[in-house]
Amino acid sequence: MLIHDQSRAGRRATTQAPLNPPAPEGIPASLRRRQRAALPEVSEMQVVRHYTRLSQKNFSIDTHFYPLGSCTMKYNPRACNSLAMLPGFLARHPLAPDSHGQGVLACLHDLQDILKAVTGMHAVSLAPAAGAQGEFAGVAMIRAYHRARGDVARTEILVPDAAHGTNPASAVMCGFVAREIPTGPDGDVDLEALRAAVGPQTAGIMLTNPSTLGVFDRNIEAIARTVHEAGGLLYYDGANLNAILGKVRPGDMGFDVIHMNLHKTFSTPHGGGGPGAGPVGVSARLEPYLPVPLVARDETGYRWLTEADRPDSIGRLSAFGGNIGILLRAYVYARLLGREGMGRVAEFATLNANYLLARLTEAGFEAAYPKRRASHEFILSLRREARDWGVTAMDVAKRLLDHGYHAPTTYFPLLVPECLLIEPTETESKEMLDGFVEAMTAIRREAEEDPERLRGAPWTQPVRRLDEVRAARHLDLAWSAQPQGANHGES
C-alpha cells in the first residue's frame, strides 16, 4: 500500500509546520498555485509505521551478506554516520564564511592528504558527487590539458570492453568518441588491439585495474607506455581501489588521473542508490584543471579555493562543495583504519575472494578466468548450467534471495556469458562465506533436479519475480489521484 492510499482529506501531522502562519499576501494571485498538490494527508504515526515497515522489505548490508561485485558492499561503521551527523556539521550553511567552517575544512583537507597518499597522486579534489561525476571531471581535465596545449585533434577516448558503463558514457558527456578495446582470453586488455587503436586522435584511455573482470592487468606498464607514447593520458577508474589499497598505487602505475568511489573503498553507505562521493586525483600536469572547490591551508587556517583562485579549473560540478557529509564519513573511516588498516582492506578482501573462488570452483562452478588470481572479486560463468539445465544466472540470483543472500552482480561485465560477479569484501567472516557456498551448492543441485523451482524464484520475498517487461511497456511512474483500476496505469 502506498502512503498515498492511507491519505484522508484533512488528516495532518500538525506539529510539523508552523501553527499559525499569516497569509502570504505579498504574492500576486496570478502566480499562485490554483490547486493543492496531491500529496498524502496522513498522521505522524502512519508515516513512521509505513516507512519502518517498508524498510523491512529491503536487503541491506546491515541485514544480509551482499556479494555484489564491483559494488563493494561492506560494513558501514555506524560511527561514520553519527560523527558526520554532529549538529555543528549539519547546521553549517554552504555559504558560511571559512571562519565558520574550520572544523569541516580541516577534515576535508586531511582527507585530501589521505587520498593523495593512498593513490600516489599529486593533488586531489573532493568535488565530484559520485564515481561517474569523477569520471566526467577526469575526462574533462584530459580535454582541458590537450586544449591548453592546442592539441585539439584528440577526439577519442579508449575504453576496454570490460569497463563499467559509466566510462564510455562519461567520455561522451565530455564530447569525446568512446572507442572500445577488446579483452584478451586471460582477462587482460588485448595489447595488440590497443596498439592498433592508439594514434594522434587518442586523448586517453580509461582503465580499471583490477578490472571488473576481477583480475589485475599484468601489462599495465606496457599499456601506460603505449598510451603515453601516443600522447594520450591514462585515466584510472578507482571503483576497485579497495583491491590494491596499500599494495600498489595508481600514481606509481603511471596514471595521470583517477577517481575514487568513497562509497566503495571508504565504506560510506550506499543508501539504496546514493549518495556517494567520487574525488579525483591527478598528476602534477593536470593539477591546474582540478574541479573546484578545493580546500587549501595557509597560516591563517583552512579555506575554500574557487574559480577565482583556480582560473584554469574545469569549473564547478555542483552548486556547492559536493557531498560533504559523505566525505566526512569517509574521513572517519580512514582514520579508524589508519596507516595499518589500509593494506589490510586489500589483503582480506583478496583473501576472501580467492577463498570463495576456490570453494565455488570445487563445488562445480566454472570460473571465467580459472588461471588467474582473483583480485577482490571474481567471475563465475553459468553457461554450462544454462546449456545443460536451462537455468540462467538470473534464476540463480533470484534463488539466492530465498536462501537469505543477496545476489551477486549479474550479466556484468557484458563480455562473459551468464556471469555472476562476486565480491565478498573483507568484512565478511569465513562462516558467512561457507554458508554462501552451501547455498550455491544447494542451488546448483536444484538446478539439475528441479529447475522450475529456480525459474520461479524468489519464493520467500515480499513479491515474486517482477514483470520488468510490463513495467517498461505499461509505464506507471507516479501515483495519480484518479483510480486506475486493477491494471495500474496502463498507458
Partner 1 sequence: MPFIPHTDDDIRAMLATIGVERIDRLFDEIPQALRCPEALGEIPPALSESGIGRLMRERARADGEPLCFIGAGAYDHHIPAAVWELVSRGEFYSAYTPYQAEASQGTLQVLYEFQSMMSALTALDASNASLYDGASALAEAVLMALRANRRCTSQRVLVPRALHPLWRRTLATIVEPQGVELIEAGFDIASGQSSVAHYAEAAGEDEIAAVIIAQPNVFGVLEPVDALTDWARARGALVIGAVNPLALALLSPPGDWGAQGADIACGEAQPFGMPLASGGPYAGFLCCRQSHVRQLPGRIVGRTLDADGRVGFTLTLQAREQHIRRSKATSNICTNQGLMVTAATIHLALLGAEGLERVAAQCHANTAHLVERLAAIPGVEPLFSGAVFHERALRLPLPSAEVLESLAAHELLGGFALDAHYPELGPALLVCATEARTEEEMAHYADLLGRILGARLASH
Ligand X SMILES: Cc1ncc(COP(=O)(O)O)c(C=O)c1O
CA–chain centroid gap for 27, Å, is 43
- 430-489 positions binding its own copies, by CB under 8 A: 431
Query: Which residue among 112, 119, 125, 166 contacts ligand X (CB under 6 A)?
Result: 166
Q: Which does 237 bind (CB under 5 to 8 A by kind): ligand X, its own copies, partner 1, none?
A: ligand X
- 402-431 positions binding its own copies, by CB under 8 A: 427-429, 431
Q: Which is nearer to ligand X, 42 or 245 (CB)?
A: 245
Q: Is 458 in the site for ligand X (CB under 6 A)?
A: no
Alpha carbon of 61 to those of 58, 394, 402, 406, 485: distances in Å? 10, 21, 16, 9, 37
Q: Is 276 in the site for ligand X (CB under 6 A)?
A: yes
- 14-33 positions binding its own copies, by CB under 8 A: 15
Distance from C-alpha of 171 to C-alpha of 465, rounded to nearest angstrom: 35
The full DSSP string for 301-319 is EEEEE-TTT-TTS--BSSS
Q: Is 425 in the site for ligand X (CB under 6 A)?
A: no
Query: Which residue among 251, 278, 279, 321 contacts ligand X (CB under 6 A)?
Result: 278
- 70-99 positions binding ligand X, by CB under 6 A: 70
Q: Which is nearer to its own copies, 68 or 189 (CB)?
A: 68
For helices 131-148 and 166-173, angle between their N-to-C axes, nearest 10 degrees? 40
Q: Would you give the DSSP letter of residue 403?
A: T
Q: Which is nearer to partner 1, 27 or 387 (CB)?
A: 27
Q: Which is nearer to partner 1, 44 or 388 (CB)?
A: 44
Q: Which is nearer to ligand X, 239 or 397 (CB)?
A: 239
Q: Is 250 in the site for ligand X (CB under 6 A)?
A: no
Q: Is 323 in the site for ligand X (CB under 6 A)?
A: no
Residue count of the chain, please give it: 491
3-state DSSP assignment of residue 105: helix
Q: Nearest to residue 359, comparing CAs of 419, 422, 406? A: 422
Q: Which does 70 bind (CB under 5 to 8 A by kind): its own copies, ligand X, partner 1, none?
A: ligand X
3-state DSSP assignment of residue 473: helix
Site string for ligand X, 113-152 (x = CB under 6 A): -----------------xxx--------------------
Give me the least distance between CB of 369 and ligand X, in Å please: 17
Distance from C-alpha of 6 to C-alpha of 82, rounded to nearest angstrom: 32
Instruction: Locate the DSSP E strands across 105-148.
Output: 123-125
- Give the interface size with ligand X as a residue count (CB under 6 A): 13
Query: Which residue among 12, 27, 38, 49 contacts its own copies (CB under 8 A)?
Result: 49
Q: What amino acid occupies position 141?
A: M
**H or E element at residue 419:** strand 419-422
Q: Going by C-beta distance under 8 Å and a sequence separation of 6 or more, which residues neighbour residue 410?
A: 393, 394, 397, 419, 420, 421
Give me the least distance between CB of 376 and its own copies, in Å please: 17
3-state DSSP assignment of residue 127: coil
Retrieve residue 319's grid coordinates.
552548486
Q: Going by C-beta distance under 8 Å and a sequence separation of 6 or more, which residues neighbour residue 398?
A: 407, 454, 457, 458, 465
Q: Is 9 in the site for its own copies (CB under 8 A)?
A: no
- 328-387 positions binding its own copies, by CB under 8 A: 336
- 130-149 positions binding its own copies, by CB under 8 A: none
Give me the least distance between CB of 371 and ligand X, in Å please: 23
Q: Is 206 in the site for ligand X (CB under 6 A)?
A: no
Q: Going by C-beta distance under 8 Å and a sequence separation of 6 or more, which residues neighbour residue 243?
A: 210, 216, 346, 349, 350, 375, 376, 377
Residues that bind ligand X (CB under 6 A): 70, 130-132, 164, 166, 208, 212, 237, 239, 261, 276, 278
Residues that bind its own copies (CB under 8 A): 6, 8, 11, 15, 43-46, 48-49, 52-53, 56, 61-64, 75, 77-79, 87, 336, 427-429, 431
